[in-house]
Chain A
Amino acid sequence: MIIAVSVMALGAILLGAALGYASIRFRVEGDPLVEKIDAILPQTQCGQCGFPGCRPYAEAISRGEADINQCPPGGEEGVRKLADLLGRDFKALSAEHGEEKAKSVAVIDEQSCIGCTLCIQACPVDAIVGAAKQMHTVVASLCTGCELCVPPCPVDCIHMEALRETAENWRWKYPVFQLEQAA
């Protein structure tokens, strides 16, 4: 009896020690769920979800404090992916956070730019080049279309331009199908 108990106790201690060691040795930095959610979010850092950026929103989702349909730039597709990842049901984008728009980029009207650098400070991805009292311009290939640079501009010279379809980004559309009526 005593032997049996002590064998079990010893086993428990050994396994416990092994587990304890493993939890230190193989510790995962950060929350893997947050990483996975963050990987789905579009990284515009626009704050339309009500959080100061994509990662804070990802954290809020993983804590269960935010719903999955608050990211307009991610669109329906993003909601679908989040629903898939979290095993939840798909729901439409919540209207209060805005609606899905065509992808666009910011364009600075270089005639009116006064070189105040306010837009540079607003851009989360450093997509604007310029210097104090010099003309600024947006590097279109880096711009995520978050619109954060639009309100700070004191002379209102930034506007958003929807991306045009070119032969480079064109793709086959979803087929329009027509089903024959069963008699």
Chain B
Amino acid sequence: MSLSTLFRFKGGIKPEAHKDASAGIPIAPAPLPSRLVIPLRQNARATARPLVEAGQRVLKGQIIGAAEGTLATAVHAPTSGLVRAVEMAPVPHPSGLEALCVIIEPDGDERWIDLQPFDHRNASPQRIRDYLRDCGIVGLGGANFPSHIKLTPGEAGIRTLILNGGECEPWITCDDRLMRERAERILGGALIMREITGASHILVGIEDNKPEAVQAMSAAASRLGAEGVTVHAVPALYPAGGEKQLIRVLTGVEIPYGKLGTHFGVQCFNVGTAYAIHRAITCGEPLLSRILTLTGNMARPGNFEVLIGTPIRELLPLADPRPDTDHFLMGGPMMGFALPSLSAPVVKATNCIIAASPALFPPPPPEMPCIRCGACAQVCPAELQPFELYWHARAKNLGKAQEYHVFDCIECGCCAYVCPSRIRLVDYFRYAKGEIWAREREKSAADAARERFEFRNLRTEREKQEKAERLAAKTAAGREAVARAAAAAPATASAPTAATVATASAPQPRAADATKALIQAALDRAKAQKAAVTPRNTDNLTAEQKAEIAEIEARRAKIREMARPHTPPDE
């Protein structure tokens, strides 16, 4: 452990940790579930393209969804078995909506694909990043951000790698256990990342309420004998495990909204991610499982290594929820959400499932008006003014909310935690953010529609003009032809008829004749066209079709009837 100076971030709170319930329990593998539901949707902007179909056999580790788009990673079969379906199924999302999932029935054989270690020392940086993407490596801290993007050095290059072992949310202990039990492999992953990025040192930040983890990581660091790796115990203060907060505490660098750590030469990875990268590079194993904590109102809380896609319902008996549990939270109590459905599977972001009972998590008391005490502003780690934001978000004054930097809010919930008026501030900020994004989308859709509409007008205008020109050319050609015919007639006729004599002697009537000829020609053309046209599709109908039409007519009449404004008969 090094004693170099630590910085601190503004604000923060000290909620009760509740970690003792599960911190002492070693990681146990969860049994193979009866079916696996693997969502292809990864985040709001990336859904993998399915590569398998129902009835197909897959091997453990086989890619079943291809990464499409910059924020996507590949999706793998967590075990060998039979693909039952590729269909919409509930996913762990606060909305309770469904998303496209691959449903696999395990065969229990755990037959792997061919595993090949990856030689990252002799591969180009792009190759390494593609490899990590195809191994499905994403941040396991909860945000699920693809790691290969974070490993792309910006202009500043990456000088400092930070391993995030903060785990500041109450109840969660999966990273703690991982660091205690598999410290060497975590550091191994960090060393690989250092080689990939060319960073000079690695800082491991662990909250000081996890002394065993600090000790295990320090011991592993000295065993590995790697230079430039230091383990720091940072003061336990929620949200010290937030990426920006931990970077601030360890390096003093503050990262503004919209920038990545790479812009400042620092990058931060969760310890679980480092472990996954180690497995991917040294064993060739894609990310198929994660460690998660089952805790809260449970008889036997613990930490489990669970296959991605395991339905949460099948997992719960491992920890035995007590009978008075009324709902389950995914994630911690501060930033997590209530699971709308227990058939939703474990995903890469699922770090904890908490059984909630009315005694442990009493329903929120009614809100009272904001008294502008400023307590929220004192604890906000993003240095915002939550009460101002709340004011504007509640009034749906979104422009103002944006001016007050609602997008800087990390939704940590500190403000709502301390608010004496018990206002659920974060809900307002989430609403404001979603609404601003939606309006942004609407605006660009309207702009695109305007462009298409203007282009369409332009095209119609052009077509009209072209048609007019074509018509003019045709008329001129027709006139000419008739005139030529008329001029040729006297010469070819052996005996001039009265008509030709008349035409020859009077030029005026000849022009009139030409027009008449033109009209006649047009009439003939129209007649020919008419004759060529097939009968209308309303002729020669079968009785059935007629009945259908009558039905449609009746429906129309009814709709017209309904649409008519209802006026009282006496008016």
Contact = CB atoms under 8 A, between A and B. Distances in A.
Nearest to A80: B396
A172 B427 contact: yes
Chain A interface residue bracket vs B: 20 to 34
Interface in A44-88: 44-45, 53-54, 77
Nearest to A182: B368
Contact of A125 (B435, B442, B452): B452
A178 B366 contact: yes
B95 A165 contact: yes
Contacts of A125: 449, 452-453, 456
A175 B447 contact: no
A177 interface: yes
B435 A171 contact: yes
Interface of B: 41, 44, 91, 93-95, 97-99, 365-369, 396, 423-424, 427-428, 430-431, 433-435, 437-439, 442, 445-450, 452-453, 455-456, 537, 552, 555-556
A interface, by DSSP: helix, strand, loop or mixed? loop
Contacts of A166: 97, 99
Given A172-B427, A172-B430, A173-B431, A43 B368 contact: no
Nearest to B439: A77
Contacts of A53: 453
Nearest to B398: A77
Contacts of B448: 142
8 contacts: A45-B453, A124-B453, A125-B453, A125-B456, A142-B448, A156-B556, A170-B97, A172-B431
A179 B450 contact: no
Contacts of A42: 442, 446, 449
Given A45-B449, A171-B435, 6 more contacts: A43-B447, A126-B455, A144-B445, A156-B556, A171-B437, A172-B430
Nearest first, the 6 closest Cβ-Cβ pairs linking A and B are A171-B434, A172-B430, A175-B427, A43-B449, A180-B366, A125-B452
Contacts of A165: 95, 97
A142 B452 contact: yes
A169 interface: yes
Contacts of A77: 439
Nearest to B97: A167
A144 B449 contact: yes
Nearest to A172: B430
Given A165-B97, A168-B44, A179-B369, A124 B456 contact: yes
Contacts of B439: 77
A49 to B, nearest CB: 15
